[in-house]
C-alpha cells in the first residue's frame, strides 16, 4: 500500500535476520524548475511559526501578509503560486525612497539591485555591521563610545531596510539617576543606543537608527527627544518613589509573592537563604549577621516600582536602594 503496488510486484529478500518483502522502482530525475515550487512550499510550511495569520479572503496562512513572490533559476522565472501570490521577477524597493517595481535580472543580482536601485540593504549581516559602524562613528563625534547590546543590535537590524543613525540629547538632570535605569529605558522602550565616556560614565546623548534618509533630520531628532523625555521622567519618578521607603521595609511584601506552591513565598525562600548564608559565613570566618541580612534584602527590590517596570534591573536596583 505504501508503495502503491500489488503484493505480486514485491520481491523477497533473504538476510541473516530472515526474509523481507522489498519493492524496487526506478524514478527518473525531474527538472529543478518542476521540483522547486513544492520544495519551497514544504519549507514554508515547516517553519516554526507559533501563530500564523490570514489576510483578505485567502485561506493561506503565514507570519505576515505576502505581497509579491520571486522564484527564479538563473534568468528563468519558475511559475508557481505560493501563499496566494503568483511568482514573477518583480521586487519593490524602500516604501519611501523607491516604492516602484524593480525587475530582478537573476538571483545573483537580487541584493545588488535592491541596494543600488531600491534603497534596501538585503543582507542581514551587512546591514547589522553598517548600523554598528554608523552608531560607533556618531558616538565618537559626540566625544564618547556607544553601548551596543548585541540583542538590541539584532532587533534594530530587523526593523530597518535602509539604516540611518541620528543622535539626540536629553536633560542632564536625569544623569543623577543610576545609569542602569537610564540605559534600560533607552534600550528597552526606545531601541536607542546610549553613549558613555571613556571612564564608563553615561553622557546625556542617545543614538537612534531611522529607516529613512530624511530631508530634515533635525525634525526626526526633535521628535525622538520629545519621546524620550516622558520615558526618563518615569524612571526618575520610580527612583524617587522607591527611595521613600527603606529597602528592608519591603520584606513584608515578599509574603504576597508565591515562589513555588510547595515551597512557599519569596519571603520563605529569603529566610531559607539567610540560614544557609549564615551557616556558610560561620564556616569561612565571615560575618554571620551581615550574610543573613544580605540574604533577607536580596529579593526586596522585586516589589519596587523600578524593577516592576524594568525586570532586568532586579538585584541591581536593590544594591542602590540598600545603600
What pLDDT score does 174 carry?
96
Exposure of 218 in the CB half-sphere (CA atoms within 13 A): 0
Element (H, E) at 56: none
Q: Which residues contact 5 (CB under 8 A, 6 or more apart)?
A: 23
For the chain, what percent of residues have pLDDT higher than 70?
100
Q: How confident is the model at residue 225 (pLDDT cuts 50, 70, 90)?
A: very high
pLDDT digits (tens, 9 = 90+) for 107-118: 999 999 999 999
Instruction: Using only the alpha carbons of the chain, give its radius of gyration.
Output: 30
Between 129 and 261, residue with greater pLDDT: 129
Q: Which three cell numbers stand for residue 181?
A: 535605569
Calculate the CA 205 to chain-centre distance. 23
What pLDDT score does 212 carry?
94
Q: How many CB atoms lie within 10 A of CB 144?
A: 19
In angstroms, what CA-CA distances link 207 with 58, 131, 149? 41, 11, 13
> Across all residues in the chain, what is the average pLDDT?
95
Q: How confident is the model at residue 93 (pLDDT cuts 50, 70, 90)?
A: very high
What pLDDT score does 27 carry?
87
CA 271 – CA 255 distance, rounded (Å): 11
- pLDDT over 90 (residue 136): yes
In angstroms, what CA-CA distances link 133 with 140, 142, 156, 205, 259? 11, 14, 14, 17, 44
What pLDDT score does 147 carry?
97
What pLDDT score does 132 carry?
98
* Arithmetic mean of pLDDT, 247-270: 94
CA 87 – CA 6 distance, rounded (Å): 40
Q: How confident is the model at residue 189 (pLDDT cuts 50, 70, 90)?
A: confident
Q: How confident is the model at residue 167 (pLDDT cuts 50, 70, 90)?
A: very high
CA 65 – CA 20 distance, rounded (Å): 50
Element (H, E) at 27: none
Amino acid at each position: 500500500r505504501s508503495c502503491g503496488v500489488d503484493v505480486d510486484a514485491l520481491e523477497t529478500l533473504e538476510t541473516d535476520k530472515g526474509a523481507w518483502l522489498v519493492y524496487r522502482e526506478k524514478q527518473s530525475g525531474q527538472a529543478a524548475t518542476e521540483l522547486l515550487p513544492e520544495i519551497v512550499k514544504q519549507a514554508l510550511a515547516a517553519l516554526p511559526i507559533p501563530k500564523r495569520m490570514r489576510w483578505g479572503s485567502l485561506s493561506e496562512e503565514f507570519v505576515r501578509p505576502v505581497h509579491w513572490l520571486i522564484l527564479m533559476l538563473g534568468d528563468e522565472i519558475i511559475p508557481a503560486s505560493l501563499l496566494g501570490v503568483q511568482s514573477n521577477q518583480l521586487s519593490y524597493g524602500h516604501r519611501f525612497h523607491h516604492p516602484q517595481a524593480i525587475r530582478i535580472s537573476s538571483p545573483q543580482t537580487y541584493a545588488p539591485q535592491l541596494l543600488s536601485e531600491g534603497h534596501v540593504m538585503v543582507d542581514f549581516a551587512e546591514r547589522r555591521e553598517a548600523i554598528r559602524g554608523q552608531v560607533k562613528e556618531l558616538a565618537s563625534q559626540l566625544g564618547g563610545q556607544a553601548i551596543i547590546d548585541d540583542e538590541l543590535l539584532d532587533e534594530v537590524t530587523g526593523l530597518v531596510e535602509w539604516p540611518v543613525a541620528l543622535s539626540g540629547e536629553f536633560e542632564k538632570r536625569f544623569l543623577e539617576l543610576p545609569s542602569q535605569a537610564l540605559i534600560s529605558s533607552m534600550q528597552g522602550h526606545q531601541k536607542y543606543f546610549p553613549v558613555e565616556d571613556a571612564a564608563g560614565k553615561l553622557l546625556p546623548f542617545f543614538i537612534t537608527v531611522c529607516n529613512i534618509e530624511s530631508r530634515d533630520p533635525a525634525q526626526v531628532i526633535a521628535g525622538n527627544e520629545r519621546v524620550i523625555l516622558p520615558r526618563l521622567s518615569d524612571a526618575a519618578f520610580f527612583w524617587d518613589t522607591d527611595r521613600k521607603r527603606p529597602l528592608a521595609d519591603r520584606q513584608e511584601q515578599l509574603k504576597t509573592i508565591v515562589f513555588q506552591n510547595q515551597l512557599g513565598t519569596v519571603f520563605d525562600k529569603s529566610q531559607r537563604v539567610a540560614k544557609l548564608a549564615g551557616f556558610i559565613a560561620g564556616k569561612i570566618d565571615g560575618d554571620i549577621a551581615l550574610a543573613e541580612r544580605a540574604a533577607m534584602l536580596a529579593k526586596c527590590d522585586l516589589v519596587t516600582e523600578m524593577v516592576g517596570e524594568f525586570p532586568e534591573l532586579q538585584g541591581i536596583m536593590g544594591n542602590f536602594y540598600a545603600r
